[in-house]
């Protein structure tokens, strides 16, 4: 136990002396939280539409003003042919071409139905599908209201028939703002980087410079060495988590809806799991390049498969299975649930158990795989 004290003292002295890492550790949460939610924005707005109006009726004019008024779209030009409209898209001056056929208004009034053509630039898939869906909604909405007008004019009685309308309201992130989705994700990313990268590289560095062998020839016990590496980075991780929460509050006014102690309990266990992962990587790597490469490989999988930036619900079953085997997945889910929804421990206790299992497995594996004698 006394030995652990000396290990910790040494570790903290080294961390404080490594200026770049030290600055990075504290600049990283602040900068990432400031930049990423603003920049990495999947909100779909300002979709540029070019219109080919072959009808030139009052109805099309009303339709365009409705589209323009939605706030998601703005009409960048009126083309006289589809071919001409396409040149906008080719020049990347427009995302969508909306073509209205000849005699649109007349046919709509007479036959009650009429088609319009929507061509969407799908290079950015998310923008295309969400933008397309929005536009569809707007046009449907428009056609319903005109239909009602038409029907009311023709059959005043029928207009009084009950109509079932679906409305929806958005919960937990009421303004559908991306920052509410991103900020909790960035907390997770930060802790993941601290846990996964810093420890792996730190331990492997000792192997590289030869101090590891010196340590192995001393009576330091395996658990003492591992604890001596885990505890400092665990403390740093918790500090960074706290800075993150403060930054989110000061800059975005985001405060956790759920209790803070719950967030901290999860962060504490999650860090132990990820530190175990970092140690495990280090026991398998002979030098810092290997450790970085291996850690980076897993970080990419963690980032892309955990629901940090992508929706797990839309993954195929096999991918969801992989996703559930990643500790990050459970932590991301919990942080979002607690921060945005105000979930209680009762709601997320299964995730807590998962994280404890991850922490135990990864650390035990690392301790077993770390050998003082080969």
Residue 35 engages another protein in binding (rule: CB under 8 A): no
Which residue lies nearer to another protein by CB, 140 or 218? 218
Choices 5-13, 191-199, 242-250, 320-328 (CB under 8 A): range interacting with another protein: 5-13
**Least spacing, CB of residue 314 vs another protein, in Å:** 47
Q: Give me the 196-235 binding string for another protein, x by CB under 8 A, dash otherwise.
A: -------------xxx-xxxxxxxxx--------------
**Least spacing, CB of residue 318 vs another protein, in Å:** 39
Residue 369 engages another protein in binding (rule: CB under 8 A): no
Residue 113 engages another protein in binding (rule: CB under 8 A): no
Which residue lies nearer to another protein by CB, 9 or 136? 9
Neighbours of 123 (CB within 10 A): 10
Which residue lies nearer to another protein by CB, 140 or 211? 211
In the range 10-29, which residues lie near another protein by CB under 8 A?
Answer: 10, 13-14, 17-18
Residue 373 engages another protein in binding (rule: CB under 8 A): yes
**Least spacing, CB of residue 206 vs another protein, in Å:** 9
Which residue lies nearer to another protein by CB, 9 or 65? 9
Long-range contacts of 244-251 (CB under 8 A, 24+ apart): 244/29, 244/33, 244/186, 244/187, 244/190, 245/187, 247/29, 247/30, 247/33, 247/34, 248/33, 248/183, 248/187, 251/33, 251/34
Residue 2 engages another protein in binding (rule: CB under 8 A): yes
Residue 9 engages another protein in binding (rule: CB under 8 A): yes
Where do contacts with another protein occur on this chain (CB under 8 A)? 2-3, 5-7, 9-10, 13-14, 17-18, 209-211, 213-221, 372-374
């Amino acid at each position: 136990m006394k030995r652990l004290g000396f290990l910790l003292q040494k570790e903290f002295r080294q961390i404080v002396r490594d200026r770049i890492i030290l600055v990075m550790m504290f600049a990283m949460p602040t900068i990432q939280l400031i930049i990423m939610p603003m920049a990495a924005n999947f909100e779909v707005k300002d979709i540029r539409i070019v219109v080919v109006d072959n009808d030139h009726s009052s109805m099309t004019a009303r339709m365009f003003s409705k589209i323009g008024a939605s706030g998601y779209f703005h009409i960048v030009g009126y083309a006289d042919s589809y071919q001409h409209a396409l040149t906008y898209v080719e020049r990347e001056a427009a995302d969508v071409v909306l073509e209205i056929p000849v005699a649109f208004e007349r046919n709509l009034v007479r036959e009650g139905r009429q088609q319009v053509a929507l061509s969407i630039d799908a290079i950015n898939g998310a923008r295309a599908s969400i933008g397309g869906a929005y536009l569809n909604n707007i046009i449907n909405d428009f056609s319903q209201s005109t239909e009602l007008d038409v029907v009311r004019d023709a059959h005043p009685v029928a207009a009084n028939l009950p109509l079932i309308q679906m409305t929806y309201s958005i919960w937990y992130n009421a303004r559908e703002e991306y920052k509410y989705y991103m900020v909790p994700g960035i907390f997770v990313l930060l802790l993941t980087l601290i846990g996964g990268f810093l420890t792996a590289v730190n331990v492997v560095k000792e192997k590289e410079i030869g101090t590891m062998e010196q340590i192995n020839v001393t009576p330091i016990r395996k658990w003492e060495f591992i604890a001596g590496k885990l505890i400092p980075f665990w403390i740093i991780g918790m500090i960074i988590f706290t800075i993150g929460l403060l930054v989110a509050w000061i800059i975005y006014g985001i405060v956790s809806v759920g209790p803070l102690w719950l967030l901290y309990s999860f962060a504490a266990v999650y860090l132990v799991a990820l530190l175990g992962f970092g140690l495990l990587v280090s026991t398998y790597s002979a030098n810092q390049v290997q450790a970085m490469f291996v850690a980076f490989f897993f970080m990419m999988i963690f980032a892309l498969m955990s629901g940090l930036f992508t929706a797990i619900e839309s993954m195929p079953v096999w991918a969801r299975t992989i996703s559930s085997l990643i500790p990050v997945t459970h932590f991301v889910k919990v942080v979002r649930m607690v921060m945005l929804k105000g979930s209680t421990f009762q709601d997320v206790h299964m995730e807590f158990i998962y994280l404890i299992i991850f922490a135990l497995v990864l650390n035990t594996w690392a301790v077993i795989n770390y050998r003082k004698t080969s």
